[in-house]
Structure 1
């Protein structure tokens, strides 16, 4: 019964994850701010919220029934190892995905009205992702898995930088857009990491532990974020120069 319920969660997780993975590219590479951008952005955000929630449920099932939910790994890994990778680390990734999707959605919904982002769900998600990340690092240390300790840095950094923006004294005029971009591209990194790392365990289990499978989505996503941040900064400087010229 545990395996059947777990497989249902996996199937739903794949459907919503694929939906988000496809929807991700429309706002990233398409024209910004248009109706298509907003429509597909909403699809991506909802898909990520559901995908992250399903990942949390899958992680709980794994923590309680590690061998029953992963019979294909019996004989390859022990219960503690499966709990670590597919329980605690997936829990961290699930909470991280929910955090990024919700935070990124509020950032663009509220724009410069940053105080509206300080609603209870958004504030609760920041310490939750930090705690999930620290626990992931601890569990990784206990089973001697450096990958878990490394990926936990992303969760801690996410929670701390989100809180910094929510409360920093003098945010820039376009910081909200940078935060929106950072969070939703981060959500894209999360879903592609899940497909390349966790998904590969069903075909070649050893690949799930290969750092390259985790590095490809991360480096690609960081490159996208930095590229668009530079564009935002350039547009901000251009507008400021136009204002100065008009008022001179």
Structure 2
């Protein structure tokens, strides 16, 4: 029964992954708040929900219920679990900051804090596991989750001071989710499609290397744009 569910969810995981991979760029380049941004943004979110749920199940199944799983497969399954947490927590955060964009006080909603704390703690745990296994991907990639989880917690537990603060947090959350989408594809999808046994470790980290500066750059740009002195046009 568990194995049958695994195979069904693997197919759904592939479908959801490809949907997310093909549409994630559309909300980035279209007018923010426009119809296309809204439509394809939700298509991306639903695709990632399917990816996250299926990835979590497959990871748990491989680690705890499949007696034929090799040590390497166990390590990749832990990575799959972390990708599930990273993608779901980032997308959830990106949506929730919109829900509370008018807040004027510290935010203590337990579920919101839980997801951010889960991302932080899972990043720490998976990174420690990666170092014990001498697995470079698991050692260093979770640092993204640690940084994001900590940043999210700080945002929730501080009173907003910047104009359009929710705008920055929304795109950073969604772009962080994009990191998990593309990274998962380079680790799992691309090697299978190209029929190659191994992929350079540089390719595994390339989405993080590219998207992280993009998040920082957009943050700087919009901070200047929305918090500029009156009478100055950028």
TM bucket normalised to smaller: 0.7 to 0.9
Q: Does 1:29 align with 2:18?
A: no
- Of the three residues 75, 93, 107, the one matched with 1:84 is 75
Cα drift, residue 171 of structure 1: 3.0
TM-score (norm 1): 0.83
Residue matched to 1:103: 93
Q: Does 1:122 align with 2:115?
A: no
- Of the three residues 136, 151, 163, the one matched with 2:141 is 151
Q: Which has the larger radius of gyration?
A: 1
Report the RMSD for the aligned CA atoms in angstroms. 2.4
The answer as to whether partners of 1:107 and 1:117 remain within 8 angstroms in 2 is no
Q: Does 1:55 align with 2:45?
A: no
SS at match of 2:79: helix
Residue matched to 1:73: none
Q: How many corresponding residue pairs?
A: 231
Distance 1:112 1:12, change over 3 A: same
**CA distance in structure 2 between the aligned counterparts of 1:183 and 1:213, rounded to whole angstroms:** 22
Give the gaps of 5 or more residues in structure 2. none
The answer as to whether partners of 1:112 and 1:173 remain within 8 angstroms in 2 is no
Cα drift, residue 170 of structure 1: 4.3
Q: Higher helix fraction: Structure 1 or Structure 2?
A: 1
The answer as to whether partners of 2:108 and 2:156 remain within 8 angstroms in 1 is yes
The answer as to whether partners of 1:126 and 1:163 remain within 8 angstroms in 2 is yes
Residue matched to 1:6: 6
Residue matched to 1:181: 171
**CA distance in structure 2 between the aligned counterparts of 1:227 and 1:57, rounded to whole angstroms:** 35
TM-score (norm 2): 0.88
Residue matched to 1:167: 157
Give the gaps of 5 or more residues in structure 1. 70-78
SS at match of 1:241: coil
**CA distance in structure 2 between the aligned counterparts of 1:117 and 1:27, rounded to whole angstroms:** 27
